[in-house]
Amino acid sequence: MSQTVEDLRRQAHDALRKTITSNELVQWRSRYLGRKGAVGALFGTIGKLPKEERAAFGQQVNALQSELQKAFEEREQLIRDQVLAQDLEEGEIDITLPAYPRQMGGLHPATRTHREFQTIWAEMGFQVYQSHDVEEDDFNFTLLNLPPHHPARDMQDTFYTTNPKVLLRTHTSPGQIRAMRELGQGGSKPIRVILPGMCYRQEQVTARSEIQFTQVEGLAIGRNIRMSDLKGTISEFAKRMFNTNAKVRYRASYFPFTEPSMEVDVECFLCDGEGCRVCKYTGWLEIAGSGMVHPTVLRNGGYDPSLWSGFAFGMGPERITMLKHGIQDIRYFWGNDLRFLKQF
Ligand code: DAH
């Protein structure tokens, strides 16, 4: 090793052994390993050496640099341990104090409601069927008994892709056709599924409507399924979701894919039906659209409507979450504001 490198090596180690406080240690590092430190200065002299000596000298300085870096880290650990031991001895650190709580992530409120839904429906024998977000026009509309010029298509303003036959689904109902075709085995097997997922509509974003939102669709197909099965099933869901005494009522409505169609209300769980701001003093909250699967839809799913029947429903988990937690504005759900999300 050249004399200069060896001198610096000895000098640096001596100085390091004398450091006691972390302040001194930092000073040592900048003196020897810093940008303008002694090791750096040695690198600067390489250019002045005769060509044939440069490579060997460079290697020596490199080795010295790694050696000092390692020595520094060891000393740093040693000083840290000593300081800690001293603090403990002098009672500066109270190890019986509880640790700082860890920052934990949480589940998004929409995810929580979805999981709650899935657990309840699974307990009632419904399997989850995952359908597509990007959907064909036929599945979103035509096969659900909404032919191309049906006036009910106006109810939903749609995001189309550059291919006018392909769109972002406006509701989870197209999954009904896919589930029937895939799980029904040519219309020969009963099915009981829920279809959760994101839906998209080209709408003015307001406190009550978003361009994206989730739905949970339900579908049951069997030999003798009747309206009483639909009512019993949804009432049971409401008891498990809201409370054991939840009352449910059904109002006649219209959806092209069900006949007859009904809207489902649950007795307001905030005021027990007394009337409050959230239920607009009616005592009832709307939670779902539902009905008996239309014969045309059964046929499009591969079932013979003279032998098979079924019921379907669609729910909006965000709306239910908003009602449960008194959330005033649907835009909070996808705004990703931590002040909102941290509350759950
Ligand atoms: N797809 C309807 C919507 O987006 C909701 C719906 C209503 C789904 C009735 C159903 C149903 O399955 O039977 O508004």
Q: Tell me: the pLDDT tens digits for 210-241?
A: 999 999 999 999 999 999 999 999 999 999 99
Q: Kindly state if the Cβ of 144 falls inside 6 Å of ligand 1.
A: no
Task: Please state, in angstroms and rounded to a whole number, the distance separating the CA atoms of residues 27 and 331.
Answer: 53
Q: Specify the higher pLDDT residue, 170 or 147.
A: 170
* pLDDT, position 9: 95
Which of 263, 313, 315 has most ligand 1 atoms within 8 Å of CB, for mutation? 313
Ligand 1: nearest atom to the Cα of 173: 1
The tokens for 332 are 């909070």
Q: Kindly state if the Cβ of 175 falls inside 6 Å of ligand 1.
A: no
Range of lowest pLDDT (70-74, 147-151, 304-308): 147-151
Model confidence at 138, pLDDT cuts 50, 70, 90, reads: very high
How wide is the angle at C-alpha 200 spanned by C-alphas 199 and 202, nearest 5°? 160
Three-state helix/strand/coil letters over the chain:
CCHHHHHHHHHHHHHHHHCCCHHHHHHHHHHHCCCCCHHHHHHHHHHHCCHHHHHHHHHHHHHHHHHHHHHHHHHHHHHHHHHHHHHHHCCCCCCCCCCCCCCCCCCCHHHHHHHHHHHHHHHCCCEECCCCCEEEHHHHCHHHCCCCCCHHHHHCCCCECCCCCEEECCCCCHHHHHHHHHHCCCCCCCEEEEEEEEEECCCCCCCCCCCEEEEEEEEEEECCCCHHHHHHHHHHHHHHHCCCCCCEEEEEECCCCEEEEEEEEEECCCCCCCCCCCCCCCCEEEEEEEEEECHHHHHHCCCCCCCCEEEEEEECHHHHHHHHHCCCCCCHHHHCCHHHHCCC
Q: Read off the pTM.
A: 0.72
Model confidence at 155, pLDDT cuts 50, 70, 90, reads: low
Model confidence at 121, pLDDT cuts 50, 70, 90, reads: very high
Which of 135, 171, 200, 297 has most ligand 1 atoms within 8 Å of CB, for mutation? 171
Whether 287 shows a pLDDT value over 70: the answer reads yes
Question: What average pLDDT score do residues 298-302 get?
Answer: 98
Task: Please state, in angstroms and rounded to a whole number, the distance separating the CA atoms of residues 120 and 36.
Answer: 67
Task: Please state, in angstroms and rounded to a whole number, the distance separating the CA atoms of residues 308 and 189.
Answer: 10
Model confidence at 107, pLDDT cuts 50, 70, 90, reads: very high
Whether 65 shows a pLDDT value over 70: the answer reads yes
* pLDDT, position 156: 65
Ligand 1: nearest atom to the Cα of 291: 13
Separation of CA 217 and ligand 1 centre (Å): 7
List Cα–Cα distances, 67 to 43, 61, 71, in angstroms.
Answer: 15, 10, 6
* pLDDT, position 164: 86
Model confidence pLDDT, tens digit, residues 324-340: 888 888 999 999 999 99
Q: Kindly state if the Cβ of 217 falls inside 6 Å of ligand 1.
A: yes
Q: Kindly state if the Cβ of 258 falls inside 6 Å of ligand 1.
A: yes
Q: What is the mean pLDDT of the chain?
A: 92
How wide is the angle at C-alpha 327 spanned by C-alphas 324 and 329, nearest 5°? 140
Task: Please state, in angstroms and rounded to a whole number, the distance separating the CA atoms of residues 176 and 140.
Answer: 10
Q: Kindly report the length of the chain.
A: 344
Q: Specify the higher pLDDT residue, 86 or 258.
A: 258
Ligand 1: residue whose CA is nearest its atom 5: 314
* pLDDT, position 242: 87
Ligand 1: residue whose CA is nearest its atom 7: 289
Q: Buried b vs exposed e over 169-187: b needs ≥16 C-beta within 10 Å?
A: bbbbbbbbbbbbbebbeeb
* pLDDT, position 251: 97
Percent of the chain beyond pLDDT 70?
99
Task: Please state, in angstroms and rounded to a whole number, the distance separating the CA atoms of residues 283 and 278.
Answer: 9
Which of 167, 210, 257, 296 has most ligand 1 atoms within 8 Å of CB, for mutation? 257
Separation of CA 282 and ligand 1 centre (Å): 23
Separation of CA 214 and ligand 1 centre (Å): 12
* pLDDT, position 1: 52
How far does the chain reach from its first CA to its final CA, in angstroms? Answer: 65
Q: Kindly state if the Cβ of 289 falls inside 6 Å of ligand 1.
A: yes
Q: Specify the higher pLDDT residue, 85 or 223.
A: 223
Phi and psi angles of residue 287, each rounded to the nearest 5 degrees, phi first: -120, -15
Whether 43 shows a pLDDT value over 60: the answer reads yes
Range of lowest pLDDT (32-46, 144-158, 217-231): 144-158
Range of lowest pLDDT (114-118, 175-179, 229-233, 273-277): 273-277
Ligand 1: residue whose CA is nearest its atom 12: 313
Contact status, residue 60 vs residue 42, Cβ threshold 8 Å: no
Q: Kindly state if the Cβ of 246 falls inside 6 Å of ligand 1.
A: no
Among the ranges 106-115, 171-180, 199-208, which has the highest mean pLDDT value? 171-180
Q: Kindly state if the Cβ of 315 falls inside 6 Å of ligand 1.
A: no
* pLDDT, position 11: 95
Q: Sheet holding 248-253: strands in order across? A: 127-128, 191-200, 212-222, 309-315, 284-293, 258-267, 248-253
